[in-house]
Amino acid sequence: MIFPIISNSESSNCYMVIDEKAALIDSGLGNEMIEKIQELTGKFNTGIDFLINTHCHYDHAANDLFAREKWNAEIAMHEDEIINENSVLSHLFNKNFREIPVDIKLKENDTIKLGEIIELKVIHTPGHTKGGICLYDKETKTLFSGDTVFSDGIGRTDFPGGDFNELKASVEKILKLKQDSGIDKLCPGHGMIGTGEDIKRVYKMWF
């Protein structure tokens, strides 16, 4: 079961994915997102086993420590992600930098098995940050794309660790995945949920 938590503010979107175990994809920013996450865990009587960050930016990871402390969630992030005061961008939100403890360092093609149905595959998609990732569930043909690609655009490349050419190659990698395995649902880090066809359209617009 996949439950989107769509942000209407400066926070990122978050996604609860529940099978035998539960994963939270990005923790978002602020009390509003915490309340929505707690509402879902209460409704389904579940904790959070894994907190998987698509990248380290503050609007995606500000609530990581809360989730770690409340549910003993293991924080997972790509091994190439750079976490420091400059890269997390907490200053853009007028917040102090806090170190994010990473319990699981992910790499390309790693899988996080939540049960007999849902298994999330790690796709390294640098460009927005060095260690940016997407997550793909083959069963539902769902791509959680972080800030790599949205239903109406692409992630910025002017922050530390950003690279336009790397982002272009990452979106091309996703388009190959769409061709080979199919992407029915696009769950981005910001904005509305889309489809694989949106990725094709965005690629033509930007590259």
CATH number for the domain harbouring residue 153: 3.60.15.10
Total domain count for the chain?
A: 1
What is the band of 157 on the pLDDT scale with cuts at 50, 70, 90? very high
For the beta sheet containing 119-124, the strands, ordered from the edge strand earlier in sequence to the opposite edge, are: 111-113, 119-124, 133-137, 142-146, 185-188
Tell me: the pLDDT tens digits for 166-207? 999 999 999 999 999 999 999 999 999 999 999 999 999 999
pLDDT at 8: 84
Cβ atoms of 19 and 116 closer than 8 Å: yes
* Residue 109: predicted pLDDT: 96
Q: pLDDT over 90 for what percent of the chain?
A: 92
Q: Is 9 a residue whose pLDDT tops 90?
A: no
In contact, 106 and 80? CB cutoff 8 Å = no
The two tokens of residue 162 are 């950003």
| Domain extent for 84 | 2-206
Residue 85's H or E segment, with its range, is helix 85-88
Q: Is 75 helix (H, G, I), strand (E, B) or coil?
A: strand
